[in-house]
Amino acid sequence: MPAAGAALLALALSVTVLALPATAAAAAAGFSCRPGARPVLFNFGDSNSDTGGMAAAMGWNLTRPEGRAFFSHPTGRFCDGRLTIDFLCESLNISYLSPYLKALGSNYSNGANFAIAGAATLPRDVRFALHIQVQQFLYFRDRSLELISQGLSGPIDAQGFQNALYIIDIGQNDVNALLDNFPYDQVLAKFPSILAEIKGAVQTLYSNGSRNFWIHGTGALGCLPQKLAMPRKNDSDLDQYGCLKTYNRAAVTFNAALGSLCDQLSTQMKDATIVYTDLFPIKYDLVANHTKYGFNNPLMTCCGHGGPPYNYDINKGCQSPGVTACDDGSKFVNWDGVHLTQAANAAVAAKILSSQYSKPQLKFDKFCRV
């Protein structure tokens, strides 16, 4: 591994931050939008921020324990409660984002969520890939403006679309799939294709009037129970906290390239605001310093099967018959082997809102517009 890459990994893995209680992320950040503000937010991504899109698209009727920690019933989120995107919405004093594909009970007055479980950047034209999500947004925008031009009620007007914040949180499925199927050097060689799709999405949105972007890097992939439970010859690839070094090294490298891409786009789009947030040190710290957050089992799945050390079985997921969840999800980082618990999502959102891991270090209240 090149010296620069090794130094980058060492820096990311050494980051430790004082923990914040897993309470309301807006309070932790020290602000919320003032009365009268009407922020608009559009989100593009995968299951980490899917608020029910895949459930609506596929007709999935998820059952408890999904949603038990907050909503008291399943909402299509792969979590026991709120996702990071939900806490970000709370910080803006807006309703949780309705999935674009949810026909009933949706409210699009403050934006829409195009994120779909399983989504990736490539292949670009398959169902729910990032490119397709952007095309869905353009259809949503055109239809909304068309209704308004006809004197009818549209959820968002032209100014709302221009002032809106556009969040992109995707790439985890791309990187994971590559790591599962290719040698490490070939994985790195394919990163430019993923980044090109993210770049293309930002450019398309920009050319259609979008000016505010918040782009997230990927998390600590090597700390996911799903990956740790895969058969391995020995434990030589585990770091001091029990995470897979190869997966985490790839995540750090991908994020460094994504951050550089955001710098490039900021230079090219001088009238746009492009914020990049590195989620790797945020999510890695949940494991490395888990006791500070009140977590007891940083590498175990709360809702899974198989018992210690990971309680994960690829053939028996959280929704499988006979699978039970832990008694207290607030003591766990991971909900189902892939996704975070509500408690972990609250901690992640608080760190995002702090701007400590963002470049430039802008506060979310920048998007509180009256």
> What confidence tens digit (pLDDT) does each residue in 305-332 have?
999 999 999 999 999 999 999 999 999 9
How far apart are alpha carbons 287 and 273 in whole angstroms? 32
Cβ-proximal residues to 14 (8 Å cutoff; 6+ apart), any chain: none
Q: Which of 32, 47, 49, 358 is catalytic?
A: 47
> Do the domain assignments include residue 338?
no
Catalytic (active site) residue 339: yes
**Residue 236 pLDDT > 60, yes or no?**
yes
Tokens found for residue 90 = 């709370």
Catalytic (active site) residue 47: yes
> Do the domain assignments include residue 193?
yes
> Do the domain assignments include residue 339?
no
Give the mean pLDDT of the chain. Answer: 91
CATH number at residue 133: 3.40.50
Count up the domains in the chain and report the number.
1
* Residues 151-178 pLDDT 10s: 999 999 999 999 999 999 999 999 999 9
* Residues 343-360 pLDDT 10s: 999 999 999 999 999 999
Q: What is the pLDDT of residue 24?
A: 45
- Average pLDDT rounded to a whole number, residues 56-66: 94
> Do the domain assignments include residue 318?
no
Q: Which of 80, 174, 336, 365 is catalytic?
A: 336
Q: Which of 173, 166, 96 is nearest to 138 (CA)?
A: 166
How far apart are alpha carbons 327 and 329 in whole angstroms? 7
CA 288 to chain CA centroid, Å, is: 20
Q: Which residues pair with 359 in a beta bridge?
A: 276
Q: What is the pTM of this model?
A: 0.91
> Do the domain assignments include residue 365?
no
Write down how long the chain is.
370
CA angle 123, 46, 286 (to 5 degrees): 130
> Do the domain assignments include residue 329?
no
Q: What is the pLDDT of residue 32?
A: 58
Q: What is the pLDDT of residue 364?
A: 83
Q: Which of 339, 354, 358, 365 is catalytic?
A: 339
> Do the domain assignments include residue 173?
yes
Domain that holds residue 129: 3-15+26-290+344-360
